[in-house]
Amino acid sequence: MNSIKKYKSLVKHFRLYSVLGTVQSSRPHFVPPHSPANEDDIDKFKEFIHNSKRLLVITGAGISTESGIPDYRSEGVGLYARSSNRPVQYQDFVKKADIRQRYWARNFVGWPVFSSVLPNKTHKILSDWEREDSLHWLVTQNVDALHYKAGSKNVTELHGSAHRVECLDCKHMISRPELQDMIKGDNPMWYSQSVDMAPDGDVQLSQEQINGFNVPSCEKCGGVLKPEIVFFGDNVPRPRVEFVFDKVKESDSLLVLGSSLEVYSGYRFVNAAHEQKKPIAIVSIGPTRADKLANIKINTKCSEILDHI
């Protein structure tokens, strides 16, 4: 089954309400302080989009903050500013059973809320651009599947997706909702909750809360299950990297939305576009690693500037 069909089946599992009974809507408190775009910024951006015939877009965690998912690095409201919680490292997950127990316990608690988050105006505008043939390709660094929920199809998930789970041994793949049912079956008496959530759906739990949690195993071979996400300390699969480099070559301009580009996995494509002398625009609150490469940098939230197109 290809990724588009897989997501059509996954969307059936998405719900508007979480298990905590709260409506999953836009949560502006995850959007960093910013000023509205001025007329000069708007005019420059309109001209950039008008001149782009094969536009490549790269999105980051900043576009999902308006849906209620925090990013990592934003001043004051990002995960790193609000919490000592840090993403799991790939080697720790693979080698340490206690790390996998902690990860899946926290992910199990966070999943009902994370999976119910809805796309916001930015996701929907990008989906509209695709339908209007105004967008050549979309590359997202996010693992939240919100572009698919908004209807986008020409998408590369650079860092994978939290909505898929793979066996590290036999490579059998299942959907994350399927795993949720497996965990419930393996942990009928285990219960915990948390109100804090990370960009990948992780939450904070104490060791006391985690004790007694049974870690799921692959139903095919008994192997280790891992979300189909590129963890910190791991590498993006080379064929995926080469595919995106090809999209950079095919494009005539590059737009970055909601990313600091601090992680090299995304920055390298902006650098490649710069070396190919292609126009680059960045819309993101706060400084980015590629500001010096951009022809246009607009320091505001993405939906506000896209709404003018």
Q: Which of 123, 147, 159, 163 is catalytic?
A: 159
Taking the complete model, does pTM exceed 0.75, yes or no?
yes
pLDDT of residue 7: 40
What six digits make up the tokens of 113? Answer: 């809320």
Among the listed residues 164, 165, 135, the one whose alpha carbon sits nearest the alpha carbon of residue 151:
135
Q: For residues 308 and 297, what is the distance between their CA atoms, to the nearest angstrom?
A: 16
CA distance 11 to 147: 12
Two tokens, residue 41: 């910024």
What pLDDT sits at residue 35?
A: 85
Phi-psi bin for 214: left (phi > 0), alpha (psi -120 to 50), beta? Answer: beta
Q: What is the pLDDT of residues 54-81, one digit of tens each?
A: 999 999 999 998 998 876 654 544 444 4
d(CA 224, CA 222): 7
User: Is pLDDT larger for residue 243 or for residue 86?
Assistant: 243
Tens-digit pLDDT profile for residues 92-125: 999 999 999 999 998 999 899 899 999 999 999 9
Would you call 168 helix, strand, or coil by DSSP?
A: coil
Residue 193, pLDDT score: 61
Give the bridge partners for 156, in sequence order: 139
Catalytic residue list contains 172: no
Q: Find the largest Cα–Cα distance for the chain.
A: 59
